[in-house]
């Protein structure tokens, strides 16, 4: 399984993650509670963890193309879930190994 990771620097990681999970939950299976959660997409899954530094994202998928689709959906939703004042940038990094 392929793995990509991102650390989204923000002072309000839980708020951003809970909003993204709620919005994507209309179409996909999502979970968010106690500072952690996940988004299950047709192509893979993205785990989310609230840290003092921001929101840590770990995306997993079987193929590079599927991982790219997971990265894109999560990135667009998180960037859309913030206001101009709280704008975030999501930069994915492919990791060696898998889950």
The kind and range of the H/E element at 61 are: strand 54-61
pLDDT reported for residue 81: 75
Nearest to 75 by CA among 52, 93, 63, 62: 93
pLDDT reported for residue 79: 86
At 3, give phi and psi (nearest 5°).
-135, 135
Tens digit of pLDDT at every position of the chain (99 positions):
999 999 999 988 998 899 999 999 999 999 999 899 999 999 999 999 999 999 999 999 999 999 999 999 999 999 887 765 667 889 999 988 655
CATH number of 2-95: 3.30.310.50
Domain spans of the chain? 2-95
Sign of CA dihedral 2, 36, 48, 23: positive
Task: Round to whole Å and give the CA distance between 89 and 27.
Answer: 23
């Amino acid at each position: 399984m392929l793995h990509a990771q991102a650390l989204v620097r923000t002072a309000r990681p839980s708020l951003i993650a809970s909003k993204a999970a709620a919005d994507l939950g209309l179409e996909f299976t999502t979970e968010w509670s106690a500072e952690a959660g996940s988004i299950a997409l047709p192509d893979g899954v993205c785990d989310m963890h609230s840290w003092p530094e921001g929101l840590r994202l770990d995306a997993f998928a079987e193929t590079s193309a599927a991982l790219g689709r997971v990265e894109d959906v999560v990135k667009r939703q998180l960037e859309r879930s913030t206001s101009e004042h709280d704008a975030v940038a999501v930069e994915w990094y492919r990791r060696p190994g898998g889950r």
